[in-house]
Structure 1
Amino acid sequence: MKKAIFLLILLSTIQVISQEANRVRVKGKIIVESSDVSGITIYNTTSNKGVITNENGEFKLRVALDDLIEVSALQYQNINFRVNKDMIKSKTIKLFLIEEIYKLEEIVVSKKSLSGNLNTDIESTDVFRPKLDALYFGIKHKEDYDFDKDYLSKPENITMNSQRQELINDLNIVNVVDQLLLPLFRSGVVNKKESGVPDVPVEAIKYYLGSEFLINNFNIPSHRVEAFIRFVESKDFDFSLLNYGKEMDFLELLYQKSTEFLNSDKTKQ
């Protein structure tokens, strides 16, 4: 019996060593809009080993095909993905992280019966948790919890729509297009009203992230990003592609236009 257990442990150990031997060391880089890229955790859940990024957002990690990688940081949206053949072949990984908005549990302060002492009012106010039947039949006296919008009200972010989820290689590509590319291309439209394109809030334009996405995924030279945007939106461009729900069609067009753009650049040289 002891020999059988020993043999089982030995085989398990050999298997683990074999799996680790098949892994390759890849170099990775975190790309974000801000400069806060150090201390981000990159964890290989398949091998149960992880690293953290340095001050430049760089890291090195041993991975194998189909390993599950989790990326987590307090200030950014956590992501996870599977290692694919391209990552193994190039031995590089570039990750685009989007800033996470901190969420706190909400409380509702009634407009009535406030003492005027902030600490006292906070302690005496309960978190508002409606009963389940309120979800179907409505909340009684809900006017007590309605507040008019003022300068402290959170603005509506027209560039985000988290209801649609389309994953490709564990990457929410629809979210990437919605948050990085659409605001960038919308901002380049000269006559937005005539083209049926909504105005884009300045804070919604993540120019650095959007540019890096075009550079890394469509091979657009960094100094030619603006020219590429104008090239895409020239001639008979269908501005309806900048609406939500057409993300995949828009990506396909970008691929076609990037090939034309790069070929036209070669002919000029």
Structure 2
Amino acid sequence: MKKLLLLFLLSVSFTMTSQISKRIKVDGKIIVEGQDVDAITVFNTSSNKGVITNVNGEFTIEVGLNDLIEFRALQYQNFDLRVTEAIMQSKRMRVFLIEEINKLDEILVLTKGLSGDLPTDVSTVKTFNPKLDALYFGIKKSDEYEFTDDPRSGIENEVMHSQSTTMVNGLNIVNVVDQLLLPLFRSKVENKKTVGVPDVPVSSIKYYFGSEFIIDNFNIPAHRVEEFIRFVQDDVDFDYTHLNYGKELEFLEVLNTKSKEFLKMNSDKD
């Protein structure tokens, strides 16, 4: 019996050690529209260990496959991501955080049905919270209201969504293209009506985020982002339908091809 117990304890110890050894160090960077990226908390809930970002928004943390990583800061909306194979292989994370606008729920005041007692009326009145501030890059038409869930709200299969093959380095690429690249490229089209590209509201253009994505993923120098956008759209064979929803992956393929041509052309000039 003692031998069996010893073997069991050794087996448990070996299993725990092997699970810990599977964690690797990953370099990450927080990208925001402003400059306040210092001391943002990055916490691995699976290992109960966390770190904080430096003045450049950079951090290093140990992660394992399927670990849940939380990003928390008072001035930004909470953001969580699940560690994927892509993150494990690339050993890096790039996380976009959105500024949090703290506000109270709006209260709909009716002409009747109020008791006159403020605490009682506040506790019983129906409220709603339209998130008019920028939402995470997972929602199309972010200028529309998103009402708080109620008992009639449908159930969304977020588990399947988070494991989508379009996740790269913790980002849902399709949604990033929708929210960052499409508005940016659409805004640079001069003859929008002729080529069938809709006007883009200024509020929907996240130039800083979009340019950072191009710099980070296509190796375009920061001072040549505008030049690269013009280079893509000046191509006589450029298909403007790629700026429509539903063609995000095809559009990324175009950008990948054109970025190589652009970099080669500029290297030849140098």
Q: How far apart, CA to CA, are the structure 1 residues paired with 2:68 and 2:132?
A: 34
- Equivalent residue, structure 2, for 1:231: 231
Deviation at 1:45, TM superposition (A): 4.3
Amino acid in the other structure paired with 2:121: S
| 1:214–1:225 contact (8 Å) kept in structure 2 | yes
Deviation at 1:109, TM superposition (A): 2.3
| 1:69–1:83 contact (8 Å) kept in structure 2 | no
TM-score of the two chains, using structure 1 as the length reference:
0.72
| 2:69–2:83 contact (8 Å) kept in structure 1 | no
Amino acid in the other structure paired with 1:160: K
Deviation at 1:120, TM superposition (A): 5.6
Could you give the per-residue CA deviations for residues 75-99 of structure 1, whole angstroms, max 9, x where no partner exists? 23523132436x5565433223344
| 2:187–2:199 contact (8 Å) kept in structure 1 | yes
Q: How far apart, CA to CA, are the structure 1 residues paired with 2:102 and 2:172?
A: 20
Structure 1: which 5+ residue stretches go unaligned? 130-152
Could you give the per-residue CA deviations for residues 145-176 of structure 1, whole angstroms, max 9, x where no partner exists? xxxxxxxx96999x93479x683236322221
In structure 2, relative to structure 1, the CA distance for the partners of 1:20 and 1:128 (3 Å cut) is same
TM-score of the two chains, using structure 2 as the length reference:
0.71
Alignment of 1:189 with 2:169, yes or no, is no
Three-state SS of the structure 1 residue aligned to 2:198 is: coil
- Equivalent residue, structure 1, for 2:254: 253
- Equivalent residue, structure 2, for 1:133: none
In structure 2, relative to structure 1, the CA distance for the partners of 1:69 and 1:219 (3 Å cut) is farther
In structure 2, relative to structure 1, the CA distance for the partners of 1:253 and 1:100 (3 Å cut) is farther
| 2:98–2:134 contact (8 Å) kept in structure 1 | no
Structure 2: which 5+ residue stretches go unaligned? 143-155
Q: How far apart, CA to CA, are the structure 1 residues paired with 2:134 and 2:53?
A: 33
- Equivalent residue, structure 1, for 2:71: 72
Amino acid in the other structure paired with 1:213: F
- Please give the residue correspondences for 1:95-110 in structure 2 after superposition, counting only pairs within 5 Å: 95-99=95-99, 107-110=107-110
Could you give the per-residue CA deviations for residues 171-191 of structure 1, whole angstroms, max 9, x where no partner exists? 322221111111111121123
Three-state SS of the structure 2 residue aligned to 1:54 is: coil
Of 121, 133, 139, which residue of structure 2 is paired with 1:124? 121
User: What percentage of residue pairs aligned between the two structures are identical?
Assistant: 50
- Equivalent residue, structure 1, for 2:219: 219
| 2:95–2:171 contact (8 Å) kept in structure 1 | no
- Equivalent residue, structure 2, for 1:176: 176
Deviation at 1:100, TM superposition (A): 5.4
Deviation at 1:67, TM superposition (A): 4.1
Q: How far apart, CA to CA, are the structure 2 residues paired with 1:102 and 1:197?
A: 35
Amino acid in the other structure paired with 1:128: K
Three-state SS of the structure 2 residue aligned to 1:51 is: strand
Deviation at 1:107, TM superposition (A): 4.1
Which has the larger Rg? 1
Could you give the per-residue CA deviations for residues 13-56 of structure 1, whole angstroms, max 9, x where no partner exists? 23322333343323221112122323433333443433232333
In structure 2, relative to structure 1, the CA distance for the partners of 1:48 and 1:12 (3 Å cut) is farther
Amino acid in the other structure paired with 2:256: Y
- Please give the residue correspondences for 1:133-172 in structure 2 after superposition, counting only pairs within 5 Å: 160-161=140-141, 167=164, 168-169=166-167, 171-172=171-172
- Equivalent residue, structure 2, for 1:60: 60
Three-state SS of the structure 2 residue aligned to 1:79 is: strand
Q: How far apart, CA to CA, are the structure 2 residues paired with 1:155 and 1:71?
A: 21
Q: How far apart, CA to CA, are the structure 1 residues paired with 2:263 and 2:189?
A: 22
| 1:40–1:71 contact (8 Å) kept in structure 2 | no
Amino acid in the other structure paired with 1:253: V
| 2:63–2:83 contact (8 Å) kept in structure 1 | no
Q: How far apart, CA to CA, are the structure 2 residues paired with 1:127 and 1:92?
A: 47
- Equivalent residue, structure 2, for 1:81: 82
Q: How far apart, CA to CA, are the structure 2 residues paired with 1:189 and 1:6?
A: 71
